[in-house]
Structure 1
Amino acid sequence: MFHEFDVDESYLYNEAFISFVLKHEKKLRSFYRRSLLRGKEILPTIQGLLVEDGVSDLFIYLSMVESGFSTDAISPKKAVGLWQFMPTTAKDYNLTVCHSYDERCDTVSATSAAINYLNKLHKQFGKWYLSAIAYNCGEGCVSRAIKRAGTDELSVLIDGNLKYLPRETRQYMKKILLLAMIGENDTLDFDNETDEKLENRLIQVDVLSGTPLKEIARLLKMKEEKLLSLNKSLKEEIIPQERPTYKITIPIDKVYAFYLRYPLPDKKRVFKSHMISHTVALGETVESIAKLYDVDAEEIITSNHLKNDFLVLDSLLVIPVNKKIFDKISK
């Protein structure tokens, strides 16, 4: 497990780390359980985004340390969201923060930004544990610590006696590793796609500006409070007016109801009466999938709000089909 952070397994037997585990394990186990309960609906989405972009899903534990999986967490320093972005960093990674909405509170947008930032840090420092450390204390702080220490060895950088890094950062990396140990030993098994986990997955869809959330909740036959809890980036109970359309998050098991009942912002409205899901396999294209279900490729692009015909392996598509095809597949 440690190797996914580029940490040598021998660190498990480091005296300082053992001392940290003995002192903090009970408290962090309790924190872990509370965080897991709070984030149970968004965890599969975060994990999927991490893996899709080449970052270990164990970086989920970095988000856990940052926010306890509270999408609208606010720190004393005014960092916000799952990944605790400061306003300036949010701007650098294209997260919109304005009077009516804050994308730092949006699961998909904030996670995508965090992935971009972590990948940038990994490219700069070459090791994932250095990326995590820099995420906490900044790139300059890590660069100076490595220069002073004459090494980028983890045990040296976070040594409590040498103090190359701030105490908060030394504890930060140990917390991530300990929570990862707790999580993996408790067999979270994020890779095991059970029906329950599929039901808890989230997806983003485009809605028109000015649309009341309660109207969307009514169309989806779900409680307004539930929809609001999934879209804490919205500061009011209405879709912002600043741009023509806005992405909101809904449970993936509501996506069929959404596309059947909500008028798509795109003029190329799909009028098929049924929707089916399709997971993209190796070698498949929009054209080949369209041929498989006897639909127009443009209908697939429109229904899934694709910018082009590029597909990501194992991603989920919604395919609009007629009743005949739907009945055939359902049998």
Structure 2
Amino acid sequence: MKFPWTILVTALLFAAVVTGNTTSYPRATENSPYTFNRLSDELMNERINQMDLPFAAQNSPQIKSVIRRFTVEGQRDSEYILGRAKIYFPIFEHYLRLYKLPETLKYLPIIESSLRPSVTSAVGAAGLWQFVPSTARLYGLTVNGQIDERLDPHKATEAAVRMLASLYEQFEDWGLVLAAYNCGPGRVRKAMRSANSSDYWTVRQYLPSESQHYVPRFIAAAYLMNYHAAHDITPRMPDYDMLDTRTFKVTRALHLGTLARQLELSYRTLTYLNPSYLQGLVPASAKGQFITVPTHVAADFKGRYIDTSSLPVPANHQKSEYTTVAGDKLETLAILFQCSPKDLIAWNGLINNKITVNQPLTVYLPQRVAKP
């Protein structure tokens, strides 16, 4: 049956006359196309300037267009990106702090992979940071039929941060560094010669077309992460087992299927958390392999696979547990816990002094500072 629209319109007009007001509509939000288009350049400039990006960010129609795609047309995808950021941003922040690089570079994998570690491109790039195999191997990542460390959030992030640090040594301009990350340093140097400039915004027009859009997309990704609430965009959070996790490094071989049965987890959960093991097999490695598990089974995993049973307990010390946060180093933790880095390595069966974020550590505190 057709709805009698003329009756509805008449009723609304009558209500407006009776109340003395115009018809009330739902509140317009910044993620509606009409309202977004009315956002002033002054407001956009103010927001972009407050993001503390590592280069001079400009507002332009192109940048505003990409921001619109994130906040209006691509709103649903952005909600998932925001949720996945809760998983991966602590890892990015950890390695960026270790290498003393700008923390806002953590937005880069948003435009590379939408924060999906298993995504691959048509040209063979893979992982959160989209390494091609040759570049991955150049930065020490293993890529073969059994393991693809481009998909390992920890190892790939450290490799990407090392690459960014190397590019900055060459160009000393973060806009040019991002362009070089996209199209390669050779093309950027060629564009600089053509522009006779080392300023990104001057060089930009001489870059390949995709690279001309790369930094604007980075600015738009940063905008999304900082101002999504202003557009009524709410993160769609992953399952709790994906969010609350602990990471260990093991040297022995194990199979994720066996591990799932032992820890009473779904195999899907373990493969999602550890995507680099293409066949579910974690190979033995003297350098160690990262294994991430939900926090509620971390103690069980540690008891099974991290051997510290033969280590002596220091006299007049009390056992405690600590979970690393972004930027932690064994040397600074040793000062905090009044021990040596060698102590922390021994107490936790570590391979070396390299640790990552969300890594559980056993510590022995002197009784005078131990918690009751």
Counterpart residue number, 2:224: 182
**Unmatched tracts of structure 1, length 5 or more:** 189-195
Counterpart residue number, 1:192: none
Counterpart residue number, 2:138: 92
Greater RCO, 1 or 2 (C-alpha within 8 Å, sep 6+)? 2
Pair 198,249 (structure 1): closer, same or farther in 2 beyond 3 Å: closer
| Paired AA for residue 134 in structure 1 | A
SS in 1 for 2:87: coil
Q: Give the TM-score of the pair, scaled to structure 1.
A: 0.76
How far apart are residue 300 of structure 1 and its match?
2.4
1:114 and 2:160 correspond = yes
Distance 1:147 1:70 in 2: 36
Pair 230,37 (structure 1): closer, same or farther in 2 beyond 3 Å: same
Counterpart residue number, 1:200: 244
Distance 1:231 1:254 in 2: 15
| Paired AA for residue 186 in structure 1 | H
| Counterpart mapping for 1:147-166 below 5 A | 147-158=193-204, 163-166=205-208
How far apart are residue 255 of structure 1 and its match?
3.7
Instruction: Report if aligned partners of 1:4, 1:56 keep a CA contact under 8 Å in 2.
Output: no
Distance 2:355 2:155 in 1: 19
1:277 and 2:331 correspond = no
Instruction: Report if aligned partners of 2:247, 2:292 keep a CA contact under 8 Å in 1.
Output: yes
Instruction: Report if aligned partners of 1:199, 1:253 keep a CA contact under 8 Å in 2.
Output: no
Counterpart pick for 1:305 among 332, 339, 350: 350
SS in 2 for 1:76: coil
**Unmatched tracts of structure 2, length 5 or more:** 1-47, 231-239
SS in 1 for 2:190: helix
| Counterpart mapping for 1:248-259 below 5 A | 248-251=291-294, 254-259=297-302
SS in 2 for 1:186: helix
- Once structures 1 and 2 are overlaid, which stretch shifts more, 148-157 or 80-89? 148-157
Instruction: Report if aligned partners of 1:44, 1:197 keep a CA contact under 8 Å in 2.
Output: no
How far apart are residue 42 of structure 1 and its match?
2.5
How far apart are residue 275 of structure 1 and its match?
5.4
Say what the alpha-carbon RMSD is for the aligned residues. 3.8
Counterpart residue number, 1:80: 126
Counterpart pick for 2:304 among 247, 261, 269: 261
Instruction: Report if aligned partners of 1:207, 1:248 keep a CA contact under 8 Å in 2.
Output: no
Counterpart residue number, 2:257: 214
Instruction: Report if aligned partners of 2:245, 2:358 keep a CA contact under 8 Å in 1.
Output: no
How far apart are residue 261 of structure 1 and its match?
2.9
| Paired AA for residue 361 in structure 2 | V
Distance 1:214 1:197 in 2: 17
Pair 321,7 (structure 1): closer, same or farther in 2 beyond 3 Å: closer
How far apart are residue 46 of structure 1 and its match?
2.1
Counterpart residue number, 1:289: 337
Pair 96,316 (structure 1): closer, same or farther in 2 beyond 3 Å: closer
Distance 1:54 1:131 in 2: 15
Distance 1:222 1:101 in 2: 22
Pair 271,232 (structure 1): closer, same or farther in 2 beyond 3 Å: farther
Counterpart pick for 1:167 among 209, 222, 227: 209
Percentage identity across paired residues of the two chains: 24
Distance 2:63 2:79 in 1: 22
SS in 1 for 2:197: coil
Instruction: Report if aligned partners of 1:208, 1:244 keep a CA contact under 8 Å in 2.
Output: no
Counterpart pick for 1:235 among 264, 269, 278: 278
How far apart are residue 94 of structure 1 and its match?
0.2
Q: Give the TM-score of the pair, scaled to structure 2.
A: 0.69
Counterpart residue number, 2:25: none
Q: What's the CA shift string for 1:192-240, capped at 9, x where partnerless? A: xxxx99963542321411x221333344443322111111110112222
1:247 and 2:290 correspond = yes
- Once structures 1 and 2 are overlaid, which stretch shifts more, 241-250 or 215-224? 241-250
How far apart are residue 39 of structure 1 and its match?
4.6
Q: How many residues align?
A: 305
Instruction: Report if aligned partners of 1:219, 1:262 keep a CA contact under 8 Å in 2.
Output: no
Instruction: Report if aligned partners of 2:54, 2:174 keep a CA contact under 8 Å in 1.
Output: yes
How far apart are residue 84 of structure 1 and its match?
0.6
**Higher Rg:** 2
| Paired AA for residue 216 in structure 1 | L
